[in-house]
Amino acid sequence: MSLLDVSGLSVRFGNTEAVSDVSFTLQRGERFGIIGESGSGKTLTALAVTGLLPDGAAMGGAITLDGAPQPQQERAMARLRGKRIGMVFQEPMTALNPLMRVTDQIEEAIRLNEARGAPEIEVPNLLHEVGLEQRHGDRFPHQLSGGQRQRVMIAMALAGRPDILIADEPTSALDLITQRKVLDLIAAICAQRHMALLFISHDLKAVGALCTRVAVMHRGKLVETGLATSVFSAPKQPYTQKLVAASRFDVLPLSRPPIGDTLLEVDGITRDYRQGGMLFWADKPLRAVDNVHFSIARSECLALVGPSGCGKTTLAKIIAGLDRATSGAVRLGGTTYHGSDLPKSLRRDMSLVFQDPFGSFNPRLTIADSVGEPLRLEPELSSETKRARLVEAVEAVGLDAGMLTRYPHEFSGGQRQRLAIARALVTRPKLVVLDEPVSALDVSVRGEVLSLLARLQADFGLTYLIISHDLDMVRAIADRVLVMEAGRIVEEGKPGDIFARPQHRLTRDLVAARLPEVG
Amino acid sequence: MRRLLSHPSLVIGLAATVIFLVIGLLSLVWTPYPIEQIDIGRRFLEPSAQHWLGTDNLGRDLASLVMSGIWTSFLVATVAVAIGVGVGVPLGLAAAAWGGAVEWLVLRLTDFVFAFPAVIVAILITTLIGPGAVNAIVAIGIFNIPVFARVARGGALSIATLDFVAAGRLAGLGNAMIAYRHLLPNVMSLIIVQGTTQMSLGILAEAGLSYIGLGTQPPATSLGLMLDEAQGVFLIHPWLTLVPGLSIVLIVIAINIAGDGLRDAIDPRLRQGNPNVLA
Amino acid sequence: MAQFRPPTEQASLPPGGRESGWGWFGPNLRMILFTLRRLLGFAVTLLVAALVIFWLLDLLPGDPAQFILGINATPESVARLRGQMGLDAPAHERFIGWVLGMLQGDFGTSYTQRAPVAELIWGRLGVTLPLSIFAMVISMAVGLPLGILAARRRGKALDTIIMVTAQTGVAMPNFWFGMLLTLLFAVTLRWLPPGGFTPWDEDGGAAFRGLILPSLALALPQASILARVMRTALVDVTGQDYIRTARAKGLTMGEAVWRHGVRNALLPVLTILGLQFAYLVAGTIIVENVFYLPGLGRLIYTAISERDLILVRGATIILIVTVTATMLLTDIAYALVDPRLRERSIP
């Protein structure tokens, strides 16, 4: 008999079916992964298993645990889930009660599962098991980092000594190194406790690293189920094939203009943020960027990689003219600037593509208004020329000029990112700064956007500065890589060299944290 | 627009508000009797065909007084909201767009004005220039300023972190243009909803101020003033307090229902459902 | 200037960072610093408020000395009185004198009532303050549980009943509700006095009975607002991720909301509570009128109509002190409940 048996599961909201006819089984100690993009219904499936579906959701089908159906009574179901099923959610920032110390939150989980041992002994054990120290337990959630919070979540999930651990995108909000550590922790704990794992993610590599058996979910249905090795190496369904291909970042080599002379030079940029303190007494300022030097050549694609909070985004904003350096300077052409004092006449030579395609368009403006906004920097253009530029930019990113009169909410994430790129091109800039250009997109459209960026670079001779934490993406597209830690650049080189022979500790950690390719 | 009108509470509240507003507007051109017409001989009359709601302690027609009072309520509350929006919203947007010292100054200013409830402002103004309807407008308007400043700043701050604002700065927009083009349109719905709340609070405050003699003065009238005039006789003639009091309650309920409906209609959280369960 | 706030999560407290360095003393010291900063703000607000009031009332035409002596007084006697009252000094000296006097409890002497302003106000506060406090207690005792109940029964009949009642309560002017209460309890049922006040030292029970109807009148709209805010806050909190976490631990929805939701939901309610008490004190001024209570309000009306500026000035500053002090206490209470707030820097 299977530990968990889901058969014919469906979840409906009114007339829309979000999950339909999903069936799978989970054996004792097995590690099973569900892969799906946002909106595929994978999270709802996990919530259905734990009886945590939101109000208004109607469930069909059957879910049995050790052959027994889910209890009807809310209290019985709640206690069952506390005892048998542990859950780790995606958002470590909001998943813990902000007003309660970590120890108390773990202790509560222990007390709920009576006769499991004294909390005074269990809590330190659990903290130790998930790699935290006792002093972390005395803190409030906001005093912990994302990775530490996710460890706390795991400790709470383990408190009831469950048979199944359900992890729903547990690492997608974490940076690369932390992600690897948390994944390793989950794997180790599952092996040690002989606990079954139901792992839910959009990330094929994460699933590939953890699970022995996988299912691919698309628009509420399971399209393919099988052993991880066979699904990844020989995907049968077209959708799975597309996902596997997209996870590899195959960017076609294009003939590009040769790398030229220096376009932009960063000379000793430092950025301090004032923090805390009172009128006459200030805390030590936080140094986000610390005396950084580098230069970018014409038509080059330079990547800046590093863990979150290392200062790479701050640096990009200073270069693009959004933030101001505390000291140091940037030289573009013959002009020296320090960030937000970038002269208006030079702003047309520079543009920035943002990470989040949903936040980068004003919902109250038409696409034409938003995409055409940078044309204000070229007041000498006639309105016909401006219109022609708009059409040119939108068509360059593979969209139709007819979309210009529409509003942002009518577009998908991938389309919006294309439009954001169009906005960045509309002034025909020399340098485009790309801040995590694909990390907020679904896996299947990442490849398309990267190919588009490569093609635009070839067509227009653009220079790119790419900010990213994703080594695989960087490897696929960059000519040169800078590695950044705590505001400093710690290593520099060609991607092939750096990833083959990392010198700095951080680079080694980053390379080691890369998950193996699937298939 | 059709989406807005599909919310029943918005439609009902709005319709009721408009009816009261029309009654109030009508009083400007026509009332059954002139409200200044005192006729001691015809005082304390029961409702009848001649006097739909009866007459008060001075023999004035109650229906005419209520119509005129409704107009005063709307006028005072609307102008007070206009003062609050006109001063508060630019302050709040400026705080969000400029930040730094401007934000600090705006926050301290709003804190400071919060320390002056409308009653205190009205007391000070009355001491200065004597009682009158203008006092109520100014006092309530001043009270509204920090409210709108806070709402505009709060909404604008969450907008200001979004990338399209940064994109606007990249396109060379200054703080004022950022506030006008990107922040204002996106906090407008918050301001409208807050506007309905301040509108109903304003009507209540006007009634309170006129009731203690710091607001509207005879021969003009307001619903609060009518309650003040009924104060001496209400134990014997409770009807005189019921009519204006109920009018206040009904207008305020109508506006509040419309405001709640508006909030439901434009609150993105309620519209999209809980995002994290569908991820 | 473009605004970019530093990445707060990493910045505010690096793992193993500031807090462990401060040791046990850390959090407490931070709370003390927070309180000190708020106290400073409190003092500055009061000083500026005093300045505004002083300046406004100083603008007034008319001479208090002339007013006291009447129109038939000789210019010489008026001048003599002006000298005695200190009216000849320059404005800034008079302002400093007024503030320093208040710090020592001397609010000046009312020239119409011929008594120290501090004494007059203190006597009236014996009505106004208990009235505000009773009203606050009643509104919390009624509003908060009803709000929680409505949130827990969201969409059910009980929720609808509570919310319709609250909707009506919010719309009711407190003084008019006071009139209705008088009609019911004092005129029809004859349970309670319709108005007037027996001083506490004469008959405490009678004084208390005199304040029952006024505090009910004040409490109803406040309770309605509290119920609505509490319900909204709790419904908001119910959708939070940590409630789902708590349910995943093995709690039912009800238990999760009770153990984790209510405390979080109280944070927005606390803000409202502070504002409410502040405006309750101001609201007493209006409700006193219905019940003929000798509170601060009546003192102020008399002072206005007799143009007793020293008394108006003293009474308004006392009201502002009450309002500002309440907001200060709310801020501090908020920081005590929410550990995040103590560490956040200004503003």
> Using an 8 Å Cβ cutoff, are A340 and A314 in contact?
no
Indicate whether C22 pLDDT > 50. Answer: no
Q: Mean pLDDT, chain C, as a whole number?
A: 80
Contacts of C193 in chain B (CB under 8 A): none
Dihedral sign for Cα atoms in the order C113, C119, C121, C126: negative
Indicate whether A281 pLDDT > 70. Answer: no
**Between C7 and A395, whose confidence is greater?**
A395
pLDDT-wise least confident of A431-435, B272-276, C17-21, C134-138: B272-276
> Using an 8 Å Cβ cutoff, are A73 and C220 in contact?
no
- Residue A391 three-state SS: helix
Could you tell me which of C174, C115, C132 has the C-alpha nearest to residue C302? Answer: C115
Contacts of C180 in chain B (CB under 8 A): 241, 245
Residue C64 confidence (pLDDT): 66
How confident is the model over A149-177, as a mean pLDDT?
A: 87
Indicate whether C25 pLDDT > 70. Answer: no
Indicate whether B95 pLDDT > 50. Answer: yes
Residue B271 confidence (pLDDT): 38
Closest alpha carbon within chain C to B212: C286
Indicate whether B267 pLDDT > 80. Answer: no
Residue A301 confidence (pLDDT): 93
Indicate whether B277 pLDDT > 60. Answer: no
How confident is the model over C55-66, as a mean pLDDT?
A: 71
> Using an 8 Å Cβ cutoff, are C320 and C49 in contact?
yes
Percent of chain A with pLDDT over 70: 96
Indicate whether C13 pLDDT > 60. Answer: no
CA of C247 to nearest chain A CA: how many angstroms apart?
7
Q: Does C241 touch chain B (CB under 8 A)?
A: yes
Could you tell me which of A57, A48, A154, A38 has the C-alpha nearest to residue A105? Answer: A154
pLDDT in tens, A70-117: 888 888 888 888 888 999 988 777 889 988 889 999 888 888 876 566
Residue B252 confidence (pLDDT): 93
Euclidean distance between CA atoms B143 and B119, whole angstroms: 10
Cβ separation B227–C278 shorter than 8 A: no
Q: Does C163 touch chain B (CB under 8 A)?
A: no
Burial of B28 (0-12, 13-18, 19+ CB in 10 A): exposed
pLDDT in tens, B170-184: 988 889 999 999 999
Euclidean distance between CA atoms B209 and B125, whole angstroms: 12
Cβ separation C11–A286 shorter than 8 A: yes
Closest alpha carbon within chain B to C187: B235
pLDDT in tens, C129-181: 889 999 999 999 999 999 999 998 888 899 999 999 999 998 999 899 988 99
Indicate whether C226 pLDDT > 60. Answer: yes
CB-nearest to B124 from C53, C241, C286 is: C53
pLDDT-wise least confident of A74-88, A366-380, C83-97: C83-97
Q: Does A159 touch chain C (CB under 8 A)?
A: yes
Residue that is written with structure tokens 């579906």 in the block: A53
Q: Does C173 touch chain B (CB under 8 A)?
A: yes
pLDDT-wise least confident of A224-228, B48-52, C269-273: B48-52
Q: Mean pLDDT, chain A, as a whole number?
A: 87
Q: Does C216 touch chain B (CB under 8 A)?
A: no
Euclidean distance between CA atoms A365 and B158, whole angstroms: 18
Q: Does C304 touch chain B (CB under 8 A)?
A: yes
CB-nearest to A99 from C37, C250, C264 is: C264
Percent of chain A with pLDDT over 90: 34
C-alpha triplet A316, A495, A170: angle, nearest 5°: 70
> Using an 8 Å Cβ cutoff, are A61 and A9 in contact?
yes
Could you tell me which of C347, B175, C209, C250 has the C-alpha nearest to residue A108? Answer: C250
> Using an 8 Å Cβ cutoff, are B155 and B182 in contact?
no
Q: Which of A106, A143, A355 to probe the C interface (max C CBs under 10 A)?
A: A143
- Whether the bond into C90 is cis, omega within 30 of 0: no
Cβ separation B118–C282 shorter than 8 A: yes
ipTM of the complex: 0.86
Indicate whether C6 pLDDT > 50. Answer: no
Closest alpha carbon within chain B to C290: B231
| H or E element at residue A266 | strand A262-273
CB-nearest to C250 from A79, A93, A140 is: A79
Burial of C207 (0-12, 13-18, 19+ CB in 10 A): middle
Phi–psi pair at C126, nearest 5 degrees? -60, -20
Identify the band that residue A366 occupies on the pLDDT scale cut at 50, 70 and 90. Answer: very high
The DSSP code for A410 is: G
Q: How many residues does chain B have?
A: 279
Contacts of B183 in chain A (CB under 8 A): none
Q: Which of A91, A362, A409 to probe the B interface (max B CBs under 10 A)?
A: A362
Identify the band that residue B270 occupies on the pLDDT scale cut at 50, 70 and 90. Answer: very low
Cβ separation A314–C4 shorter than 8 A: yes
C155 torsion bin: left (phi>0), alpha (psi -120 to 50), beta (else): left
Q: Mean pLDDT, chain B, as a whole number?
A: 84
Q: In sequence order, which residues have a C-beta less than 8 Å from that of residue A321 and are 6 or more positions away? A: A337, A339, A340, A341, A342, A347, A350, B169, B170
Indicate whether A152 pLDDT > 80. Answer: yes
Best-predicted range by mean pLDDT (B164-173, B216-225, C301-310): B164-173
How confident is the model over A241-268, as a mean pLDDT?
A: 81
Identify the band that residue C59 occupies on the pLDDT scale cut at 50, 70 and 90. Answer: low
pLDDT in tens, A425-482: 999 999 999 998 888 787 778 888 888 898 898 888 899 999 988 888 888 889 999 9
**Between C60 and A211, whose confidence is greater?**
A211
Percent of chain B with pLDDT over 90: 33
Dihedral sign for Cα atoms in the order A338, A343, A345, A350: positive
Identify the band that residue B1 occupies on the pLDDT scale cut at 50, 70 and 90. Answer: low
How confident is the model over A220-238, as a mean pLDDT?
A: 90
Q: Does C242 touch chain A (CB under 8 A)?
A: yes
pLDDT-wise least confident of A115-119, A382-386, C28-32, C216-220: A115-119
CA of C149 to nearest chain A CA: how many angstroms apart?
18
CA dihedral A134, A140, A144, A150 (to 10 degrees): 80
Q: Which of B102, B112, B127, B256 to probe the C interface (max C CBs under 10 A)?
A: B127
Euclidean distance between CA atoms B198 and B119, whole angstroms: 15
Indicate whether A247 pLDDT > 90. Answer: no
How confident is the model over B108-135, as a mean pLDDT?
A: 83
Half-sphere exposure of C280 (CA within 13 A, CB side): 32
> Using an 8 Å Cβ cutoff, are C214 and C288 in contact?
yes
Identify residue A413 by its one-letter amino acid code: G
Contacts of A47 in chain B (CB under 8 A): 277
The DSSP code for A165 is: E
* Residues C155-168: b if buried by 16+ CB within 10 A, e if exposed: eeeebeebbebbbb
**Between C255 and B128, whose confidence is greater?**
C255
Phi–psi pair at C111, nearest 5 degrees? -90, -10
